[in-house]
Amino acid sequence: MPESSDITGLVLAGGRGSRMGGVDKGLQNFNGIALALHTLMRLQPQVGELMVNANRNLAAYEAFGAPVWPDVLADYAGPLAGFLTGLERCETQWLVTVPCDTPLFPQDLVARLAQAAAKDDAEIAMAAAREEDGQLRPQPVFCLLRVDLLESLVRFTHGGGRKIDAWTAQHRTALVPFDAPGDDPRAFFNANTLAELHQLEQR
């Protein structure tokens, strides 16, 4: 099983924040600290190394103390651009991705993804959570990836591919449900608007 020291954590903060009125989502306050910093602090005990993928306000992100890398693909190409940037910069055998807008993600996220990857001999382990309609759905931005998938992702994105699930479907993927008794049903709620962010704060 991959040890935490074999895993680099990547906080995805490279989006346009269009549903938040174009603000830089990772720099919005959550209980008094920037969302992306909150995410970094929640991820830090779970991994060996940390980095951030951001495309603007780079100095503000650098102040959080982890290396910051902008997308290697132009035009805000979505989460896969962040995956690609992370895999290119990753110096461990595994990379785990976490978006900056889901502040309550599980504190045993990485351990459970790593366990499933080892058990299924998978190249990718992806979280799945129950949504409000009761359906268990993949959460593709919460992914543990083998670093040697870089070449495959370069090919996919250079061919114009942008959908995470279309790419992960090409690889052995373990889906990891986070719906056991004791799992927080809101762990994967993400804040797309400032109102949703305030709702999460009040929980």
What pLDDT, on a 0 to 100 scale, did the predictor assign at position 77?
A: 67
* Cα–Cα separations (whole angstroms), residue 104 to 41, 70, 101, 186, 198: 12, 25, 9, 7, 13
pLDDT over threshold 70, residue 156: yes
What pLDDT, on a 0 to 100 scale, did the predictor assign at position 18?
A: 67
How far is it, in rounded angstroms, from Cα 140 to Cα 59?
Answer: 28
Query: pLDDT (tens digit, 9 = 90+) per residue, 75-97?
Result: 656 889 999 999 999 999 999 99
Per-residue pLDDT, averaged over 114-141, amounts to: 93
Q: Where residue 175 sits, what CATH number does that domain have?
A: 3.90.550.10
pLDDT over threshold 90, residue 129: yes
Domain coverage including residue 158: 4-202
Tokens coding 61: 């992100």
Lowest-confidence range among 5-9, 104-108, 126-130, 191-195? 191-195
Split into its structural domains, the chain has a count of: 1
% of the chain at pLDDT higher than 70: 96
State the chain's mean pLDDT as an integer.
92
pLDDT over threshold 80, residue 175: yes
Per-residue pLDDT, averaged over 30-55, amounts to: 95
Name the pTM for this structure.
0.94
Q: Where are the beta strands (DSSP E) in 29-172?
A: 29-30, 33-34, 49-54, 68-69, 94-99, 124-130, 136-146
What pLDDT, on a 0 to 100 scale, did the predictor assign at position 76?
A: 59
pLDDT over threshold 80, residue 125: yes
pLDDT over threshold 90, residue 23: no
